[in-house]
Amino acid sequence: MQVSELKIKGDHFILHPYGSAFWKERSTLLVADVHLGKAAHFRKNGMAVPTGTMFRAYEKIDTLIRKFNPDTLCFLGDLFHSSPNNEWDLFADWTTHIESDIVLIKGNHDLIPEHRLESLGIHIRDSWDLPPFYLTHEPNEDGDTFNICGHIHPGVRLRGPGRQSLRLPCFFKKEHQLILPAFGEFTGKHVLSPQATDQVYAVTPEEVLLVSG
């Protein structure tokens, strides 16, 4: 797989086609909007979603951990889609095999009681101030620090000849902000319109491509 590397405020971030960013200087793997349990939530409400989809997020994260060997695995919010369902036990068992410290920056979908997450050794934060960076779930630009976040599920529309177009998830970099794509499936995409100074990195199954900026 072909990755891209960003240099921000002197630090280096590797953008991976799975939608994660590895922060070299802090040995931290950043993942946003996994929405675990969403497939089970859909099935509970009568939607036909293959059972195997619930394992894909774990398989992808395991692959990233083997590749980068991070000291910290940081979820930028919306780790779970809703309250606990039958995927909770799978997640709890999975965490026992993770040697990295796990940090969750709470998102609007993170409804699971904190004590249940903390019982698995997960550190819960509303935000994480790591000057000159500021990690949040929802975008939060204050101009003094560089914000890394998720929540938006950013996408980009690429146009071809005629009326052909393709929507892809993307990393969306502004002057003071990097928005990560949604890591989970069935999350949708919010197509953003870049300004002249923005950088957009489209995510395909095999590579991360700079398509704007």
In the chain, what is the straight-line distance between the N-terminal and C-terminal CA atoms, in Å? 22
> Do you know the residue count of the chain?
213
What percent of the chain has a predicted confidence (pLDDT) above 70? 87
Residues 141-199: pLDDT tens digits? Answer: 877 899 999 999 999 988 767 677 788 999 999 999 999 999 987 667 888 989 999 99
Q: Which amino acid is at 131?
A: P
> What pLDDT was estimated at residue 188?
74
Q: Which of 108-122, 151-165, 196-210 has the lowest mean pLDDT?
A: 151-165
Q: Spell out the residues 6+ positions from residue 75 whose beta carbon is closer than 8 angstroms to its own.
A: 31, 32, 34, 102, 103, 104, 105
Residues 57-100: pLDDT tens digits? Answer: 999 999 999 999 999 999 999 998 665 667 888 999 999 999 99
Domains of the chain and CATH, by start: 4-212 (3.60.21)
Better pLDDT: 3 or 188: 3
- Say yes or no to pLDDT of 102 above 90: yes
Better pLDDT: 200 or 49: 200
